Structure formats: C-alpha cells, structure tokens
Structure 1
Amino acid sequence: MAASLFEGKAHAASYQRYRLAPPPELQRLLLAYLRDKRASPVQLAVDIGCGSGQGTQVLAAHFEKVIGIDISEAQIEEAKQANSLPNVSYCVSSAEQLPFEDGSVDLITAFVAAHWFDLEIFMKEVDRVLRPDSCVAFSTYTSDVRLQYKDCSEKLTEIFSEAVERLSKYRDERVHRVLDGYKEIYASLPFKDKKRVTDIFGKLSVSVADVIGYFQTFSMYQTFLRSDPERAKALLLEMEQRFLETMGVSSNETQLELWISNVCVLGHKGP
C-alpha cells in the first residue's frame, strides 16, 4: 500500500518542509487549459494524494473551494497544521473511494501522486465524481533533475544522480509509471479529450540542506532508511560533503538552483 510509504510522522514532517509545490510553469499550463476547456469557473477543486498540502495551497488562489485528500493520516495532519486559508480543507480518504457525490466536482488534480493509485478503480471514481465539462490534471516530477552552481553544475547533477541510482533497488514497482513519463496514466484516463505535456521545467533557488531534505522525502530513501538506518544516514552525509567540496564552500546554507522536469496529463470530461 502507498500509505505505508508515506505514513510515518517524521516522513510527513519532511514532506511539509522540503517537498516542492507545483512550479509556476505547471500552474500556468493548468490555468490556460481550464480557460480553454471550461465555460464556467471552477467552484470545487479536489487535490488527491495531496500529501502535506503544497499543491492544494497553490490551487486555493484560483478556485472557490479546494479539498485535499490523502490516505495518510500523518500527511493530512501536517497539511491541516500548515493551512491558514479559509477556502481549503483536508480529509483522510483513499483515491479509490472518493467521499463525493456523483457529478459534484469541477476539477481533480494529483501532483506527484497518481502513479501510486489503483488506476482502473481510481479512473472510474474520477469519472463518477466529475461534472460534465470538468477537467483533470495529473502531474509528476521526472527523473530529469539538474543542479546549477557556477561552473560545477554538471558535477553536482552527477552526484545527485549517483545517489538516486544507489537507491534503485528500493524503488517501488509503481514508480515505473513516472519513469515512462506518465504514459500509462494518460492511457488509463477514460476521456477522449486529453493530452500529455512533457518537459515542463521548474527551477527554484534552494540551499544544499534543502536538496538533501528533498532527497529524504523520496519513497525509496524512506524504504532504505527503514532497512538500514545507519547506511541511509551515511549516504546523506556523503552527499552533502561531496556537494560542499565540489562547490568549494563550507556552509550547507549556500544557495544553488534546482531544476526539475515535470510531465502533466490533462483531460476534459465532455458534456
């Protein structure tokens, strides 16, 4: 079950602190799609697999009411504690049994989450709860992650990629849906009007400590941590030291740029 990969309180706290919100480029893509496809404003948006709420909070600026759904009680508790927006609420629920009436939702999103779901059951639920003329957006980071700092960007990216590769044996089989660019998600969506958009690059300024924190949120790192805590913690220390030596700095608060490619599946349920 996906819940077991994200249920721990410490993992949920790391998600709240280090997990990335959908980048502005992805947000603009979604809003443009909605303007093109929908004749009326979105009243109810539901963010499924919301984790600690980064994506849910982004939606709140654009839609009348937003509900974040996640199967993990620990993640939902983190989301609730961080929430200060009056039009956002959260509840614990599985993606395969959504707590909404038939034809009651205008927009369904899932940011870095849809690959964990039972796709056949989930897509039936999506079709059930969406009103006619409503939309979906399912996005994920890809494996294309780049670190930019002065003239050592290539080496920093190599260090990060090597660390990810060392975790490959702890990778859940469902992550293949991410590695294939959400093609299976696209094929599973039961609407004729749909598209898959690739190479949506987001970039942000982060510290070395933030990069290490982001790495810790990976499900495969959490599996490694449970399997061999000492080696898992040693890997983080090794990564940080290699970053600092390569950059020629001593502080893990030194800023660099993190570039991540995203892919998004968009769909419109016709009238």
Structure 2
Amino acid sequence: MATQLFEGKEHASLYQKYRLPPPDEVQKLILSYLEEKKQKPFSLAVDIGCGTGQSTRALSSHFEKIVGTDISKAQIEEAKRASCASNISYCVSPAEELPFEDSSVDLITAAAAAHWFNIKKFLKEADRILKPSGCMALYSYHAYMEVHYKNCADKLTAIFTEFYDSLSKYASKNTEIVHSEYEAIFNAIPYPDKKRITKMVHKFQMPVGDLMGLFKSFSMFQTFLQIDPDAAKKLIENTEQRFLEVMGVSSNETIVEVWAKHFCVLARKSS
C-alpha cells in the first residue's frame, strides 16, 4: 500500500468500533460473480487493506481459508482482537508485496482500500497470486452520505455536507479515485473480463453518537485532528449538537438512517 494514513492505535480503534461490514448486496454480487466465473471449491480468499477485519470476516463461511492483510500493524492488531472464525488469519503486508505463492488465490477483495494502493504494482502482484480464472473485487462507497430522520433529511444532509466540505482541504488526492467510482482502477485492470457496478445505495441505521464516530474515522478528519486537535474536536461536537437540534432530541443515542452509495469493480483472470 503506497499511502499510510491509518497507523495510529486510536484510529484503528475507531475503525473497529464504527466502520461497518460490506453491505449484503455487495457481498452477494461478489460471490455470484466468483461462482459464475470459477468452479468450486474455493480454498483461499485474500482481503487486502483489510483494516480491522470487517470485510474479512464477511467472507468466513464461503472459503476454506481467508487471510486479511494490511500495511498498518495497529489495524491488524485490532482485527486479531476481534472474535472471528477459525479459518481467518491476518498479517501485516503492503498490497504491492503479498506473502502468497503464485497462482494460489481464488478471490482477492479490497474494501474501501484500493484507492490507497500503487495500482500498477498491486495489479501486477494480484495477477501473480490469482489462480487461473481467479477473481478480484475492489469496492468502496462515497463519503458523501444522506442522513434521514423523520422529515428533516434535507437539513441533516446539509449539515453533514458542510462538515465534509470543511474537511476537504485535508483530503488526499487518492480520494479523487473514489469520487470517480474507481473508473481509473477499472481502466487499469488488464483482464478483458471485467465490469464496474455503480449506484448501489446501502441504507443502515445507527445512533447519532456512532455516526460521529464514523465521521471521526475518516482519513481527512484524522489529518485535521493531527494538525489542530482542539478545532477538530470542536467540529465534531458542533456537528453532533446541530444534528440533535434539528432532530428536536437531546440524546445522541437517537437512531438515524444513513444512505451511502457503493460501487464495485469485478474482474476475472484468464483461465
């Protein structure tokens, strides 16, 4: 992985607590593609840039063995502390230098991570470890989200947009790849059998306090926090207070519904 923004233990803890597993729709899309393109059994899946393991654990019932890799030792330590199936393991490794034998992997996944990779080197390494007809699934979501609660969705979403825009100067250029829904990554994949799926909307519910935790896990918020801790903390506190005022409630345990747009790039290595 060419970029290292998720090294801190506190950031890793936020990931473990507030980041969500992949939506069922995305998981079904990936597994359906794999089953269509490659015969069972599926022995090994590798989840690259796995963070604290939410996306890795989602694969546990479909493969004999799943390995989550991440360049961040802190993220891997959090992943190992989480309860998981016996067929899951984790290791510290960059996306561009993976500790797997040639032609040994059935499926490579990367959840909200591929935009941090050196894509040219990663794709070369992915091609090395994938089995013939092995598949790759690279997916993420837009950080711009809609927030819904009763009849005040427009106001809540406007507050979130203002919060997000205020952090834009701390964003990495890598996030531009996300805004384009991985178009550049899709174009860089050398396999002729590939497709890109966009406009999948995932709706999930969480307390306002947890939503603030999710916001704090954003890489650009963490950059802001390092530069000006007091201002970053004040921004989160003010955003939460504005949410509660618009909603007409006092508890940050009040549940809101969040809508996030997901997209996915799927590709199959030639047989």
Matches within 5 A, 1:113-152: 113-152=113-152
CA distance in 1, matches of 2:163, 2:270: 44
- Relative distance call for 1:181 and 1:200 in structure 2 (3 A) is same
Matches within 5 A, 1:21-36: 21-36=21-36
Aligned residues: 271
CA distance in 2, matches of 1:144, 1:15: 18
1:60 aligns to what? 60
1:155 aligns to what? 155
Deviations 1:71-99 (A, max 9, x none): 00000000000033101000000001000
Identity %: 54
Determine helix, strand or coil for the equivalent of 2:5: helix
Q: Quick check: 1:16 aligned with 2:19?
A: no
Instruction: Kindly state the Cα deviation for residue 3 of structure 1 after the two structures are TM-superposed.
Output: 5.4
Q: Which amino acid in the other structure matches residue 94 of structure 2? A: S
Cα RMSD after superposing both structures: 1.1
CA distance in 2, matches of 1:68, 1:226: 28
2:236 aligns to what? 236
2:198 aligns to what? 198
Determine helix, strand or coil for the equivalent of 2:268: strand
Would the aligned equivalents of 2:9 and 2:74 in 1 still touch at CA under 8 Å? yes
Would the aligned equivalents of 1:25 and 1:201 in 2 still touch at CA under 8 Å? no
Instruction: Kindly state the Cα deviation for residue 57 of structure 1 after the two structures are TM-superposed.
Output: 0.5
Determine helix, strand or coil for the equivalent of 1:7: coil
Determine helix, strand or coil for the equivalent of 1:195: strand
Matches within 5 A, 1:22-101: 22-101=22-101
Instruction: Kindly state the Cα deviation for residue 32 of structure 1 after the two structures are TM-superposed.
Output: 1.4
- Relative distance call for 1:220 and 1:2 in structure 2 (3 A) is farther
CA distance in 2, matches of 1:63, 1:206: 30
2:265 aligns to what? 265
Instruction: Kindly state the Cα deviation for residue 215 of structure 1 after the two structures are TM-superposed.
Output: 0.4
Would the aligned equivalents of 2:4 and 2:71 in 1 still touch at CA under 8 Å? no
Would the aligned equivalents of 1:146 and 1:157 in 2 still touch at CA under 8 Å? yes
Instruction: Kindly state the Cα deviation for residue 189 of structure 1 after the two structures are TM-superposed.
Output: 1.2
TM-score normalised by the chain length of structure 1: 0.98
Instruction: Kindly state the Cα deviation for residue 200 of structure 1 after the two structures are TM-superposed.
Output: 1.3
1:174 aligns to what? 174
- Relative distance call for 1:2 and 1:209 in structure 2 (3 A) is farther
Determine helix, strand or coil for the equivalent of 2:67: strand
Determine helix, strand or coil for the equivalent of 1:90: strand
Greater mean deviation of Cα atoms: 226-235 or 3-12? 3-12
CA distance in 2, matches of 1:39, 1:235: 51
Greater mean deviation of Cα atoms: 11-20 or 38-47? 38-47
Instruction: Kindly state the Cα deviation for residue 154 of structure 1 after the two structures are TM-superposed.
Output: 1.2
CA distance in 1, matches of 2:61, 2:247: 37
CA distance in 2, matches of 1:222, 1:4: 12
Would the aligned equivalents of 1:3 and 1:71 in 2 still touch at CA under 8 Å? no
TM-score normalised by the chain length of structure 2: 0.98
Unaligned runs of 5+ in 2: none
Would the aligned equivalents of 2:144 and 2:164 in 1 still touch at CA under 8 Å? no
Moved >2 Å (runs of 4+): 1-4
CA distance in 2, matches of 1:90, 1:104: 17
Determine helix, strand or coil for the equivalent of 1:4: coil
CA distance in 1, matches of 2:201, 2:66: 25
Instruction: Kindly state the Cα deviation for residue 204 of structure 1 after the two structures are TM-superposed.
Output: 1.2
CA distance in 2, matches of 1:46, 1:4: 20
CA distance in 2, matches of 1:234, 1:122: 38
